[in-house]
Amino acid sequence: MKKYKIFTSTARNLTPYLNQELLSLGFKELSILNTGVFLEAPFDDIMRLNLSLHSANHIFLLVKEFNCDSPDELYKQVVNIEWENLIFEDGYVSIFSNVSNPTIRDSRFANLKCKDAIVDRLVKIKGKRPDSGPLRDKTVIYLYWIDKRCAIYIDTSGESLSKRGYRKISLKAPLQETLASGIILATNWQGKTHFVNPMCGSGTLAIEAAFMALNRAPSILRKNFGFMHTKFYNAATFEEIKKEIRKKENKNINQKIMATDIDKYAIEAAYKNACLAQVENYIEFKTCDFRQTPMPQPPGIIVINPEYGIRLGDINELENLYKEMGDFLKQKCSGFTAYIFSGNISLLKKVGLKSQKKIIFYNGDIECRLYEYSLYEGSKRAPRLTTEHRQE
Ligand SMILES: C[S@@+](CC[C@H](N)C(=O)[O-])C[C@H]1O[C@@H](n2cnc3c(N)ncnc32)[C@H](O)[C@@H]1O
């Protein structure tokens, strides 16, 4: 089977976890960048990866690479690609790009050149032209042109894989689904122990955790992918692949996945989202203050994504909230490993516990940290810090 060079992209700094996912699916990387991983795969595997990867945003299939120094050269190179064998002349095509070349002032001009070349080629060979526009739900072409290096890809995902389709009800500051997955992968949780998510908001972390515990491909319910709008696609093969993937799902899980929030509308939204994701039977929901979260017997992990004041919440109130989170973790969660994900380091310092690990992530443009706290039991108990001795 012919192999294609592909680039699986993810949010900045999530590549180690994406690569770990690829390795566990049996893929070996060609190279790793800060925003993704290059590898080779046949088209069937490209479909599998779109369905299965938790932390990838897009899977790009490389069509052509070349050196390019002008918009005219771009046109010449793109018009020579055999588009008639790749995409439909009566379809719909959109072009997205990342361009930084001195001959281009506005990347939309490069997109237009690319689109003209594709359309002109199809009109010449097939006598028909596809529609074009900004929608991402049909054929999506991605142009990467930095300095002289130019590459043309088909975006086999189309819409970002982070749009799993289950989050119909979104509340304030939800995490992107792929980032939520990346956070869970970074905890190294294997889906075998309890997963507790106080302050769950719209339930993204708990739903993504349920996918992992069930060994469920996170995009299995998605109805549309960019690859469906290419000539590589065969619907029967895709159905076979989905069946084969679903056979590997666990039918049941023994550990608890818990999602709590003080806001009853958040819990309603989280429950509805879990229903759409078809994981509502694997998550226990409760409306309560985080301090009242009924903790199961350890071992397990607690993952909290509190507000952090850049987009929400008043800083003084938040300082208090973070101190109380520290107290809750110390007093009620021994035996667990806790993780707090926040975009505000000063607030994280108010937690007052010594963190064993600090990982930098990006939530959009906001630099965030995931802090890990081991909450030992009995003789291994971590020294308790009084308010006066909190880490600053
Ligand atoms: C940043 S949002 C969480 C977003 C979530 N990760 C998602 O993807 O939707 C923080 C959540 O904390 C909840 N919250 C704030 N104070 C709380 C408290 N004292 N106890 C429990 N939940 C609280 C809010 O209602 C809000 O839903």
- Mutate which of 183, 199, 267 for ligand 1? The one with the most ligand atoms within 8 Å of its CB, which is 199
C-alpha 119/C-alpha 122 separation (Å) is 5
Which domain-ending residue is among 155, 188, 223?
Answer: 155
Whether the predicted pLDDT of 382 surpasses 50? no
208/287 same-domain check: yes
Mean pLDDT of 8-36: 96
What is the arithmetic mean of pLDDT over 6-29? 96
Q: Do 133 and 21 belong together in one domain?
A: yes
Residue 242 maps to a domain: no
What is the tally of structural domains in the chain?
2
How far is residue 104 from each of residues 100, 108, 119, 343, measured CA to CA in Å?
7, 9, 21, 35
Cα–ligand 1 centroid distance for 305 (angstroms): 7
How far does residue 155's CA lie from ligand 1's centre (Å)? 34
Q: Could you tell me what percent of the chain has a pLDDT over 90?
A: 90
% of the chain with per-residue pLDDT over 70 = 95
Which of 261, 293, 325 for a ligand 1 pocket mutation test, highest count of atoms within 8 Å of Cβ?
A: 261
- 181 and 151 in a single domain? The answer is no
312: confidence class by pLDDT, cuts 50, 70, 90: low
- Longest CA pairwise span in the chain (Å): 78
How far is Cα 355 from Cα 351, in angstroms, rounded to an integer? 10
Q: Give the predicted TM-score (pTM) of the model.
A: 0.94
Decide if 256 contacts 296 (C-beta within 8 A): yes
CATH of the domain at 275: 3.40.50.150
Q: Which of 183, 307, 329 to mutate to test the pocket of ligand 1 (most atoms within 8 A of CB)?
A: 307
Nearest CA to ligand 1 atom 18: 289
pLDDT tens digits along 67-93: 999 999 999 999 999 999 999 999 999
How many C-alpha atoms does 65 have within 13 Å on its Cβ side? Answer: 9
Are 86 and 146 part of one and the same domain? yes
Please state the rounded mean pLDDT for residues 299-311: 89
- Ligand 1: atom nearest CA of 180 is 8
Among residues 197, 373, 203, which one has the least CA distance to residue 302?
197
Whether residues 189 and 147 fall in one domain? no
My answer on whether 328 and 203 are in the same domain is yes
Protein residue whose Cα sits closest to atom 20 of ligand 1: 289
- 96: pLDDT confidence band, cut at 50, 70 and 90? very high
User: Considering only CA atoms, which residue is closest to atom 12 of ligand 1?
Assistant: 199
Residue 56: burial class (beta carbons within 10 Å; 0-12, 13-18, 19+): buried
Query: Is residue 59 domain-shared with residue 183, that is, in the same domain?
Result: no
How sure is the predictor about 379, in pLDDT bands with cuts at 50, 70 and 90?
A: very low
The band of 388, judged by pLDDT with boundaries at 50, 70 and 90, is very low
Of 104, 125, 155, at which residue does a domain stop?
155
Pocket test for ligand 1, best of 262, 324, 327, 329 (most atoms within 8 A of CB): 262
Measured from the CA of 170, which atom of ligand 1 is nearest?
Answer: 9
Of the candidates 123, 124, 109, 119, the residue with the CA atom closest to the CA atom of residue 74: 109
pLDDT tens-place string over residues 119-161: 999 999 999 999 999 999 999 999 999 999 999 999 999 999 9
Same domain, 209 and 320: yes
In the chain, what is the straight-line distance between the N-terminal and C-terminal CA atoms, in Å? Answer: 57
Residue 243 lies in a domain: no
Give the separation between CA 110 and CA 105, rounded to whole angstroms.
9
Atom of ligand 1 nearest to the CA of 202: 9
The verdict on residue 90 lying in a domain is yes
Residue 221 belongs to some domain of the structure: no
CA of 196 to the centre of ligand 1 (A): 13
Does residue 52 form part of some domain?
yes
pLDDT at 47 over 80: yes
Q: Which residues line ligand 1 (CB under 6 A)?
A: 171, 173-175, 198-199, 201-202, 204-205, 261-263, 266, 289-290, 305-307
**What number of other Cβ atoms are within 10 A of residue 164's Cβ?**
23
For residue range 197-229, what is the model confidence (pLDDT) as tens digits? 999 999 999 999 999 999 999 999 999 999 999
Average pLDDT over residues 7-20: 96
Residues 329 and 181 in one domain: yes
**pLDDT at 323 > cutoff 70:** yes
Tell me which residue has its CA closest to atom 17 in ligand 1: 262
CA of 289, closest atom in ligand 1 = 20
- State the distance from the centre of ligand 1 to the C-alpha of 170, rounded, in angstroms: 12
Query: What average pLDDT does range 257-279 have in this prediction?
Result: 97
Q: How far apart are CA 289 and CA 262, in angstroms?
A: 5
183 occurs within a structural domain: yes
Kindly report the average pLDDT of the chain as a whole number: 94
State the pLDDT at residue 169: 79
pLDDT of amino acid 172:
79
SS3 36: strand
CA atoms of 244 and 236, how far apart (whole Å): 12
Q: Does the structure show a pLDDT above 70 at 380?
A: no
CB-based contact 156:43 (threshold 8 Å): no
Quick check: 264 pLDDT over 70?
yes
Q: What is the pLDDT of residue 310?
A: 64
Pick the residue whose CA is nearest to atom 3 on ligand 1.
201
Nearest atom (ligand 1) to Cα of 312:
1
| Residue in the block written with tokens 């590549």 | 15
Q: Is 160 domain-assigned?
A: no
Rounded CA-CA distance 387/50 in Å is: 48
Amino acid identity for residue 381 in this structure: R
For residues 102-124, average pLDDT? 97
Q: How far is the CA of 100 from the centre of ligand 1 (A)?
A: 39
Dump the DSSP string for 179-192.
Answer: HHHHHHHHHT--SS
For residue 67, the surrounding DSSP H or E stretch is strand 58-67
Residues 151 and 188 in one domain: no
- Given a cut of 80, is residue 60 above it in pLDDT? yes
Residue that wins the pLDDT comparison between 377 and 268? 268
| Pairing assessment for the beta strands 139-146 and 149-155 based on DSSP bridges | antiparallel
User: Does 188 lie in the same domain as 306?
Assistant: yes
pLDDT of 386 > 60? The answer is no
Residue 270 structural domain: 177-215+249-389
pLDDT score of 190 more than 80: yes
Do 151 and 181 share a domain, yes or no?
Answer: no
Nearest CA to ligand 1 atom 26: 201
155 vs 226: CA distance, rounded Å: 6
Task: Return all residues near 106 (Cβ < 8 A) that are at least 6 apart.
Answer: none
> Tokens for 373?
């706290």
Helix, strand, coil shares of the chain, percent, nearest 5, are 35, 25, 40
> Does residue 390 have a pLDDT over 60?
no
Locate the ligand 1 atom nearest the alpha carbon of residue 324 and give its number: 19
Best CA proximity match to 244, nearest among 23, 28, 48:
48
Please, which pLDDT band fits residue 313 given cuts at 50, 70 and 90? low
Contact 93, 118 (CB under 8 A): yes
Give the strand pairing for 92-100 and 131-132. Answer: parallel
pLDDT at 311 over 70: no
Residue 167 domain flag: no
CA angle 197/269/331 to nearest 5° reads 25
The CATH number for 123's domain is: 3.30.2130.30
